[in-house]
Structure 1
Amino acid sequence: MALTEIDHVSENEEMQECIDSCLECVQACEWCADECAGDEDMAECLRLCRDVADLASMHARFMARDSGYRTDIAAITADACEACADECEQHDAEHCQVCAEVLRECAETCRNMASA
């Protein structure tokens, strides 16, 4: 296998890891948002979770079609994941703690894609 083929395989594996991470993030954020619905004290958490779910879903689609904008979206998604994780970590609810962990992982994979 030529070096360029190895690099391409490695890049595809990283992209697939990021897609998987983004899709897991969408699920966690939608769950957290659903659990936060109706609780005025959780309004910011709800809003951020919905924002991240939309961004992570979009980023996964951009990567899947190899869009030229995928690195820009990766950086924005990572920023949003970190902001949402910061918010979720302020709450003791299980859904917030689980979501924060998934968000941190997604932020890391998105940062890796943004720098690729």
Structure 2
Amino acid sequence: MMTACIRTDRECADICGYLEQAISRNSPFVSELAGVCATICQACGDECKKHDHQHCQDCAQACYECAEACKKIA
């Protein structure tokens, strides 16, 4: 039941972590990575929002905020 949610959470955490590393080393690909990160964060938020658990709702909100921040960087 939660397989897609967990999978998307992991994808989101991985790209967010990688973007953080790319920003810290001043990678020339930050804009492109931020665009991908925004897409994945949005998808993660959409998936988590489907579930009634409070931690899923909290995750969805955080993902939506992250997606907006990434869009500004992209």
- The TM tier, using the shorter chain, reads over 0.9
Matched to 2:20, the amino acid is A
Which residue of 2 is the match for residue 90 of structure 1?
Answer: 50
2:31 is aligned with 1:67: no
User: Aligned equivalents of 2:4 and 2:47: distance in 1?
Assistant: 8
Q: Which runs of 5+ in 2 are unaligned?
A: none
Q: What residue in structure 1 maps to residue 70 of structure 2? A: 110
Structure 1 residues 1-116: aligned runs within 5 Å = 41-114=1-74
In structure 1, what residue type is equivalent to 2:58?
A: V
Number of equivalenced pairs? 74
Q: Structure 1, residues 5-45: CA drift from partner, whole Å, max 9, x if none?
A: xxxxxxxxxxxxxxxxxxxxxxxxxxxxxxxxxxxx00000
Task: Give the percent of matched residue pairs that are identical in Structure 1 and Structure 2.
Answer: 39
For residues 111 and 61 of structure 1, what CA distance do their matches in structure 2 show? 17
Q: Distance in 2 between matches of 1:82 and 1:94?
A: 18
The CA RMSD over aligned residues, in Å, is: 0.4
Deviations 1:45-102 (A, max 9, x none): 0000000000000000101111001111000000000001000000000110000000
Q: 2 CA distance for matches of 1:49 and 1:88?
A: 8
How far apart in 2 are the matches of 1:111 and 1:60? 14
Structure 1, unmatched stretches of 5+, are 1-40
Task: Name the TM-score, length of structure 2 as normaliser.
Answer: 0.98
Give the alignment's TM-score, normalised by structure 1: 0.63
